[in-house]
Amino acid sequence: MTSSDTGRPRGGTSGKRRAILDGALAVFARDGYSRASIDAISAEAGVSTRTVYNHFTDKAGLFQAVIQESASRAAAAQIEIIERHLRKVTDLEADLMEFGLAWAMPMAADHDAHFALVRQINADAGHIPQEAIDAWQETGPLRVRRALAAHLSRLTERGLLRTDDPERAALHLFLLISSVNPSYHRVTPSEKEIADMVTAGIRAFLYGYAAR
Amino acid sequence: MTSSDTGRPRGGTSGKRRAILDGALAVFARDGYSRASIDAISAEAGVSTRTVYNHFTDKAGLFQAVIQESASRAAAAQIEIIERHLRKVTDLEADLMEFGLAWAMPMAADHDAHFALVRQINADAGHIPQEAIDAWQETGPLRVRRALAAHLSRLTERGLLRTDDPERAALHLFLLISSVNPSYHRVTPSEKEIADMVTAGIRAFLYGYAAR
DNA sequence: TACTTTTTACAACGTGCGTTGTACTTTACC
DNA sequence: GGTAAAGTACAACGCACGTTGTAAAAAGTA
């Protein structure tokens, strides 16, 4: 067994909880809810299985805590990118392009884990309590989409864009700049491939495919 | 060695095999691979569990047979829609719109099950043999996308569209007309909601969001 | 009817896993 | 150092599940 003990005896109170959440995120993202075992999670966290149950009521509770935190963190990072690139827009196409690049490039260590977890949620939605899904959507995807929609709305008022439904436009923009095939690939795409995809996505978002 | 699952039970009518495949599709799509139990599948199929093992080597083999057939059937139906609407295009926007509507409306009984299964594959890709995923992609999504790309290419040659990468354009079109939020909703969207989504998607595909 | 093939019910084995109790050890804090 | 809280090892329970064997029944075929 790979005893990757990242969390040795730490100061303060309950650094164990952090380790459990991180380990659980990794395992849930990789294996999905039903495959993920508490043993695997506790091993990944460098913690005894009993400690997991001292911090969380049961597997379902741990899962909901994990997806909630993952959504919160990822949303914060994504909103930060949105704000940084779209707060002041001078050259629309160039600024959107930089935004798309920053968006699509791996932003953090748990970047892949987060999106793998989203896929798991997406597939497992039928077995997750509706309130948990609603809460997750609210603190995660919906919040981000609204943040982007607000900026698109401002850009529309400035006459740079045109749309009567900024939320839908935000969804379209997300789809177009994230269009790299989700999984299926064992290898992560190169920077150039990502850049090509983002470029094509932004162009499509701005100008579409109709002949001029 | 799960590629060719020609069962030994030969001769006569083995309608059981059909029932197993159908039941397994329903259960795998609803519960995912690891949650789905052979008992549940055989119950759904109206068959004893032993019969399942008389037709398929094991759970993994059954799963691969199911996803392969589901991909094949869905791809055939989708390609049929593509051909019907894009073989002869007179009014680009109107024809694309009708195509999008036909695409997004539930096409068959196993429509929902198929896309739920796609979500499961998408999430479980890390636990499915690479050859199985490649084969599935080839008979399913890639084949469909190439079919659409071929038509977009023809439309480009006719001067109705512009793109130097028809495959990517096909992907973008798919994303834009399928942008209804995948799961999360217990209720299926109304026809009007689907129509609105398709309309917005087609408009975005053709003209984008840049101010004219 | 007699046969062959297919299906079924049933039991059984092994295993993995969620979860809990318990007694022991480590850590945090005064 | 001493006390309380947190963490650990370990065992155990119960259950669900994949898979196989077997003998009886059903269905198809001659």
Measured to protein CB atoms, the chain D nucleotides within 7 Å are 6-11, 16-22, 28-29
The pLDDT value given to residue A107: 74
Q: Which two tokens stand for residue A196?
A: 């090509």
The B residues from 1 to 20 touching A (CB cutoff 8 Å) are none
The pLDDT value given to residue A2: 31
The pLDDT value given to residue A205: 98
Write the residue in A124, A168, A209 that is nearest to B32 by C-beta. A124
In chain A, what residues touch B139 (CB-CB under 8 Å)?
none
Chain B touched by A157 (CB under 8 Å): no
What distance lies between CA B141 and its chain's CA centroid? 7
Question: In a mutagenesis test of the A interface, which of B172, B178, B212 is the best target, namely the one with the most A β-carbons within 10 Å?
Answer: B172
Residue count of chain A: 212
- The pLDDT tens digits for A143-170 are 999 999 999 999 999 999 999 999 999 9
pLDDT of B188 over the 70 cut: yes
Rounded distance, CA A171 to CA A181, Å? Answer: 17
A1-5, B52-56, B145-149, B154-158: which has the minimum mean pLDDT?
A1-5
| DSSP states along A26-83 | HHHHHH-TTT--HHHHHHHHTS-HHHHHHHSSSHHHHHHHHHHHHHHHHHHHHHHHHH
pLDDT category at B182 given cuts 50, 70, 90 is low
pLDDT category at B108 given cuts 50, 70, 90 is confident
- Show the domains of chain A with their CATH numbers: 1-56 (1.10.10.60), 63-207 (1.10.357.10)
Cβ contact B14 with chain C strand, < 7 A:
yes
For range B116-140, the mean pLDDT: 97
Chain B touched by A187 (CB under 8 Å): no
Low-confidence residues of chain A: pLDDT under 70: 1-14, 181-183, 185-186
Q: Which residue has the higher pLDDT, A105 or B186?
A: A105
Name the CA radius of gyration of chain B, rounded: 20
pLDDT of B2 over the 60 cut: no
Distance from the Cα of B138 to chain A's closest Cα (Å) equals 12
The percentage of chain A sitting over the pLDDT mark of 90, rounded to a whole number, equals 83
Task: Compute how many other C-beta atoms are within 10 angstroms of the C-beta atom of residue B76.
Answer: 13
pLDDT category at B9 given cuts 50, 70, 90 is very low
- The pLDDT tens digits for B26-53 are 999 999 999 999 999 999 999 999 999 9
Q: Which residue has the higher pLDDT, B2 or A202?
A: A202
Contact (CB, 8 A) for A100 and A202 = yes
